[in-house]
């Protein structure tokens, strides 16, 4: 079981590091910038998780293999830059989805191994899955996906809840990991394919219809309105450019 979790963790680092490399290429960064984005995406979430859980040293300090894997990933990406760049529009959202699923399960599993409460384990899975991508997007001057209305953090939370529930029911570890991965990945890929989003709260201005013969014009009113995905407000799509277009 320990070996399975370790190799899943390593796979997540590779996939997330690739997403960092691709975003660095799209942002026209130099090789050092590619390395920075790959590193913060690959090990950033796990580092914060270990710090919150009070683990010293953090995982990549005690096992530098993670650093070598990131270096190798960046090196291979530079050599195959043209091929990776052509796949970036499709590969970036897919790589991010796989990384989210893998890291969510890894973070939840590690917290449970330390006998953390179930709700804390779910939050640790969420932190492991989204924190690295948040730092990556901020460095690339993008609004992090987790802060938008996309089904992103929701998929991570759902996967963490499933894993905690299955672990509580004494489900075989391999089956629990597979089902939690499937839930997280399935929700995230469905959100990418069908552009599923959560409703958003927007500050809108409502202009009442003019009253005939009124002495003074009716003043517009401002209020907070719940806007469902796909609705248009003021001639603009409040959903924004989310979904596949935002990842491309």
Let me know whether 141 and 219 are in one domain.
no
Number of structural domains (the chain) is: 2
pTM for the structure as a whole: 0.82
Alpha helices in 54-172 (DSSP H): 59-62, 65-79, 81-113, 118-139, 153-168
Domain boundary among 174, 194, 214: 194
**d(Cα 74, Cα 21) in Å, to the nearest integer?**
7
Let me know whether 98 and 136 are in one domain.
yes
pLDDT of residue 13: 95
Let me know whether 152 and 218 are in one domain.
no
Q: How many helices (H) and strands (E) does the chain have?
A: 9, 4
pLDDT of residue 93: 84
Let me know whether 113 and 29 are in one domain.
yes
User: Domain range spanning residue 30?
Assistant: 2-194
Let me know whether 131 and 150 are in one domain.
yes
Let me know whether 59 and 153 are in one domain.
yes
The CA angle 114-120-121, to the nearest 5 degrees, is: 60
Let me know whether 208 and 139 are in one domain.
no
pLDDT of residue 56: 92
Let me know whether 190 and 204 are in one domain.
no
**d(Cα 147, Cα 156) in Å, to the nearest integer?**
14
In the three-class reduction of DSSP (H, G, I as helix; E, B as strand; rest coil), residue 196 is classed as coil
Let me know whether 60 and 143 are in one domain.
yes
Q: How far is CA 12 from CA 17, 64, 151, 231, in A?
A: 8, 16, 20, 36
Q: What is the pLDDT of residues 143-167, one digit of tens each?
A: 887 887 678 999 999 999 999 999 9
Domain boundary among 150, 173, 194: 194
Q: What is the pLDDT of residues 91-117, one digit of tens each?
A: 778 888 999 999 999 999 999 999 999
pLDDT of residue 248: 32
Let me know whether 139 and 121 are in one domain.
yes
Q: How far is CA 171 from CA 99, 164, 167, 176, 178, in A?
A: 23, 10, 6, 6, 11
Identify the residue whose tokens are 């001639």. 235
**d(Cα 65, Cα 130) in Å, to the nearest integer?**
22
**d(Cα 218, Cα 242) in Å, to the nearest integer?**
36
Let me know whether 160 and 210 are in one domain.
no
Stretches where the chain sits below pLDDT 70 are 1, 85, 87-88, 149, 203-204, 209-218, 221-222, 224-226, 228-248
CA atoms within 13 A on the CB side of 212: 0
pLDDT of residue 87: 65
Q: Of the candidates 204, 197, 199, which has an alpha carbon nearest to the alpha carbon of residue 225?
A: 204
Domain boundary among 194, 220, 235: 194
Let me know whether 110 and 187 are in one domain.
yes
**d(Cα 10, Cα 70) in Å, to the nearest integer?**
10
**d(Cα 173, Cα 186) in Å, to the nearest integer?**
20
Helix axis angle for 118-139 and 31-53, nearest 10°, is: 160
**d(Cα 27, Cα 50) in Å, to the nearest integer?**
30
For the chain, the C-alpha Rg in angstroms (whole number) is 21
């Amino acid at each position: 079981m320990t070996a399975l979790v370790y190799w899943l963790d390593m796979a997540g680092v590779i996939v997330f590091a690739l997403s960092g490399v691709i975003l660095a290429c799209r942002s026209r960064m130099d090789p050092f910038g590619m390395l920075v984005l790959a590193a913060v995406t690959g090990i950033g979430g796990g580092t914060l998780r270990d710090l919150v859980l009070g683990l010293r040293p953090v995982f990549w300090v005690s096992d530098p293999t993670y650093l070598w894997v990131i270096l190798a990933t960046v090196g291979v990406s530079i050599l195959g830059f043209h091929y990776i760049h052509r796949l970036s529009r499709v590969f970036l959202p897919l790589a991010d989805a796989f990384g989210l699923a893998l890291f969510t399960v890894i973070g939840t599993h590690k917290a449970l191994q330390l006998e953390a409460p179930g709700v804390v384990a779910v939050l640790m899975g969420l932190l492991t899955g989204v924190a690295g991508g948040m730092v990556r997007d901020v460095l690339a001057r993008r609004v992090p996906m987790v802060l938008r209305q996309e089904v992103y953090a929701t998929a991570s939370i759902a996967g963490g809840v499933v894993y905690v529930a299955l672990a509580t029911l004494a489900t075989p570890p391999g089956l629990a990991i597979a089902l939690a991965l499937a839930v997280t990945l399935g929700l995230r890929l469905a959100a990418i394919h069908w552009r599923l989003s959560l409703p958003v709260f927007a500050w809108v201005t409502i202009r009442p219809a003019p009253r005939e013969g009124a002495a003074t014009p009716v003043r517009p009113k401002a209020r907070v309105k719940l806007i469902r995905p796909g609705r248009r407000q003021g001639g603009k799509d409040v959903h924004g450019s989310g979904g596949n277009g935002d990842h491309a």
